[in-house]
């Protein structure tokens, strides 16, 4: 049987890793796929041939559209990233009747509905395992391994840069800005770290997970996103005193009212396994009605871990080349006609517990005033700590944990507390999830 020919768009970190894995493990991959898989063409403007196995057997062009239009190519692997020209290349490949593999979470989160509809019409497959959590096979788990379950909720550490920063802040008491500079020096964060530290990258990934879990269209624009740049070492320390760790968590949950879709700093009980995922590692916790909680842990980025997921997708596509399109695993886990129009809840309607840190005047009656406002709003306090003022200081930090309440109620209470003469500056609010 003739080998399957792959056109590789991009020979950077992930593209180079993909070529190296396909060449190094060619015999094992052929045994799994049922036929050989070779990269016959690639597109890249700059690359280092000394780092690429078998590059002398690959026809390399600087025109990605030339590769996409090549009639000999069976599978196009898009590893350029970004929104454009990735979208145009993928849609052109589909129009040309080619299967597509991509690691591009931004592309899938924003344009996936359009791309999957085009693929359905052409009878081709678009595979995207590497788009979420690098080498962790979470897409396959949701689409296949957990297909018997009603997925109740998902909580994930799905950005390694943010997790590295929070881990360093916890372990060494360092400031956010200081650790961010180190993350950039180590190559974990970009020169412009906005996508990572403000949660946009995680929101892309969470959008995909929610669609797979609940059978809803991709709706990135409805995802609530909050970053970690306001987290201070004292918040990390106070969280530990209460028995919690702070993680930048993506949470999606199906409720009677709709689907929660949110990325934000979160206090998690320190005894939870996911609270002990440190450094640049990723982890996704999935709760199904039949299986209960299952945890998926591993490298969420990097050349070979991500290439592992890309090559697994190439193998899957190769296995289905002769399969009737109607009998393939659906792109978003549910049959296209069965996607449900379930609303995404606004953050004001989400119910969770809270960590609050206030800066208050050190005088009688302040705690009672704050507690009174929370009580009037129907918010119950679980724990509270008032720190001693430093010598010569007239202000003290007041830290508390609340029970679960709707965000809208908490917003109103915070506005009233911040208006008190005895409260200085804004209130720091971090959501709390017990994941039980």
**pLDDT tens-digit readout, 85-143:** 999 999 999 999 999 999 999 999 999 999 999 999 999 999 999 999 999 999 999 99
Contact status, residue 154 vs residue 263, Cβ threshold 8 Å:
no
Residue 330 falls within a domain, yes or no?
A: yes
Is 98 part of the annotated catalytic residue set?
no
Question: 106 and 214 share a domain?
Answer: no
CATH number (domain holding residue 281): 3.30.360.10
Please state the domain count of the chain: 3
Question: 153 and 234 share a domain?
Answer: yes
**DSSP state letters, 235-256:** HHHHHHHTTEEEEEEEEEEE-S
Q: How far apart are CA 343 and CA 390, in angstroms?
A: 49
Query: Side by side, which strands form the sheet with 59-61?
Result: 59-61, 37-43, 4-9, 75-78, 99-102, 126-127
Question: 398 and 418 share a domain?
Answer: yes
Residue 395 falls within a domain, yes or no?
A: yes
Closest to 76 in 3D by CA, of 87, 84, 68: 68
Provide the pLDDT for residue 168: 97
Provide the pLDDT for residue 323: 75
Residue 344 falls within a domain, yes or no?
A: no
Residue 249 falls within a domain, yes or no?
A: yes
Q: What are the residues whose beta carbons fall under 8 Å from the beta carbon of 15, sequence distance 6 or more?
A: 8, 9, 42, 44, 77, 79
Provide the pLDDT for residue 332: 85
Question: 63 and 158 share a domain?
Answer: no
Question: 223 and 252 share a domain?
Answer: yes
Which stretches of the chain drop beneath a pLDDT of 70? none
Question: 129 and 153 share a domain?
Answer: no
Provide the pLDDT for residue 260: 98
345: DSSP letter: P
Provide the pLDDT for residue 331: 87
Provide the pLDDT for residue 290: 98
Strand intervals (E) in 304-350 = none
Provide the pLDDT for residue 325: 78
Residue 345 falls within a domain, yes or no?
A: no
Residue 343 falls within a domain, yes or no?
A: no
Q: Which neighbouring-strand residues pair with 285?
A: 155, 295
Q: How far is C-alpha 430 from the geometric centre of its chain's CA atoms? A: 19
Question: 20 and 129 share a domain?
Answer: yes
For the chain, give the mean pLDDT: 95
Question: 149 and 279 share a domain?
Answer: yes
**Phi/psi at 426 (5° precision):** -75, 155
Q: What are the residues whose beta carbons fall under 8 Å from the beta carbon of 342, sequence distance 6 or more?
A: 214, 216, 254, 258, 259
Question: 16 and 129 share a domain?
Answer: yes
CATH number (domain holding residue 399): 3.30.70.260
Question: 94 and 170 share a domain?
Answer: no
Question: 153 and 267 share a domain?
Answer: yes
Question: 129 and 152 share a domain?
Answer: no
Provide the pLDDT for residue 394: 84
372: DSSP letter: H
Cis peptide before 85 (omega within 30 of 0): yes
Side-chain-side CA neighbours of residue 257 (13 Å): 10
Q: How far apart are CA 86 and CA 79, in angstroms?
A: 8
Q: Which neighbouring-strand residues pair with 299?
A: 281
Q: What predicted TM-score, i.e. pTM, was given to this entire model?
A: 0.94
- The boundaries of the domain holding residue 164 are 138-299
Final residue in a domain of this structure, among 287, 312, 338: 338
Of 98, 205, 247, 254, which one is the catalytic site residue? 205
Q: Which neighbouring-strand residues pair with 298?
A: 282
- SS3 assignment, position 118: helix
């Amino acid at each position: 049987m003739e080998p399957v020919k792959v056109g590789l768009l991009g020979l950077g970190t992930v593209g180079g890793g993909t070529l190296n894995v396909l060449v190094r493990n060619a015999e094992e991959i052929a045994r799994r796929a049922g036929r050989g898989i070779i990269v016959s063409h690639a597109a890249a403007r700059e690359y280092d041939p000394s780092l690429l196995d078998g590059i002398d057997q690959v026809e390399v062009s600087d025109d990605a559209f030339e590769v996409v239009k090549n009639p000999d190519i069976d599978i196009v692997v898009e590893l350029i990233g970004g929104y454009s020209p990735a979208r145009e290349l993928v849609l052109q490949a589909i129009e040309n009747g080619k299967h597509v593999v991509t690691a591009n979470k931004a592309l899938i989160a924003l344009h996936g509905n359009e791309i999957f509809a085009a693929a359905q019409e052409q009878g081709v497959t678009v595979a995207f395992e590497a788009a979420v959590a690098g080498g962790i096979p979470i897409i396959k788990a949701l689409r296949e391994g957990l297909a018997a379950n009603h997925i109740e909720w998902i909580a994930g550490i799905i950005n390694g840069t943010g997790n590295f920063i929070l881990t360093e802040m916890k372990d060494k008491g360092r400031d956010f800005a200081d650790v961010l500079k180190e993350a950039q020096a180590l190559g974990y964060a970009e020169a412009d770290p906005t996508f990572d530290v403000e949660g946009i990258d995680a929101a892309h990934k969470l959008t995909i997970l929610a669609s797979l879990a609940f059978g809803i269209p991709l709706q990135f624009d409805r995802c609530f996103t909050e970053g970690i740049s306001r987290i201070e070492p004292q918040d990390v320390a106070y969280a530990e005193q209460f028995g919690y760790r702070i993680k930048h968590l993506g949470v999606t949950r199906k409720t009677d009212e709709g689907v929660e879709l949110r990325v934000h700093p979160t206090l998690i009980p320190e005894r939870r396994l996911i609270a002990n995922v440190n450094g640049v590692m990723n982890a996704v916790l999935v709760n199904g009605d039949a299986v209960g909680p299952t945890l998926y842990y591993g490298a969420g980025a990097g050349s070979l871990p991500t290439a592992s997921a890309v090559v697994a997708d190439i193998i899957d596509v190769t296995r289905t080349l002769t399969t009737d399109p109607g009998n393939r695993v659906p792109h978003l886990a549910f049959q296209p006609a069965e996607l449900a129009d379930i609303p995404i809840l606004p953050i004001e309607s989400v119910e969770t517990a809270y960590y609050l840190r206030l800066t208050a005047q050190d005088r009688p009656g302040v705690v009672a005033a704050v507690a009174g406002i929370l009580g009037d709003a129907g918010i119950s306090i679980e724990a509270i700590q008032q720190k001693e003022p430093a010598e010569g200081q007239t202000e003290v930090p007041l830290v508390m944990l609340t029970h679960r309440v709707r965000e809208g109620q908490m917003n109103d209470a915070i506005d009233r507390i911040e208006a008190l003469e005895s409260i200085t500056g804004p209130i720091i609010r971090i959501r709390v999830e017990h994941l039980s």
